[in-house]
Amino acid sequence: MTGDTSGEFPAELPAIAHLAWSSYHAMVASKTRHFDFLSELDRKHEGGGRRSLAEIAHLEQLLELHTRAVKAFGQAVAQLATEDPGARDSLLTHLHGLNAALGAEPEAKH
């Protein structure tokens, strides 16, 4: 398992998992945009600045977009589970390995 975050569809996954794979990457991208902007606002606050109404509205919009992306990923995985449970399992195993390689998930201890 590699730490490839390019978003390219892995050859080892079944083609039917493509929608869920794309939804996963959209979810990660929306999370990144939200946290990056939040960090920017935190730095501004630490420097004595205050959030503007436009910044607050933008932050709320980013959070809403991420919430929708999380929901879309959940729906794509549920649909995949209905259509091909083995493909869903392969996708989730791949994502677990990817996240573990990136340090996002602790390795399972048995």
Q: pLDDT tens digit string along 10-41?
A: 999 999 999 999 999 999 999 999 999 999 99
* H helix runs in the chain, sequence order: 18-46, 53-83, 85-101
Note whether residue 13 is domain-resident. Answer: no
Host domain of residue 30 = 19-101
Based on the structure, what is the number of domains in the chain? 1
Contact 17, 91 (CB under 8 A): yes
In order of 73, 79, 98, 105, the CA distances from 86 in angstroms are 17, 12, 18, 22
Q: What is the pTM of this model?
A: 0.82
Give pLDDT, residue 96: 93
Give pLDDT, residue 105: 55
Give pLDDT, residue 4: 52
Note whether residue 5 is domain-resident. Answer: no
Q: What is the pLDDT of residues 78-107, one digit of tens each?
A: 999 999 999 999 999 999 998 888 776 555
Note whether residue 8 is domain-resident. Answer: no
Give pLDDT, residue 98: 86
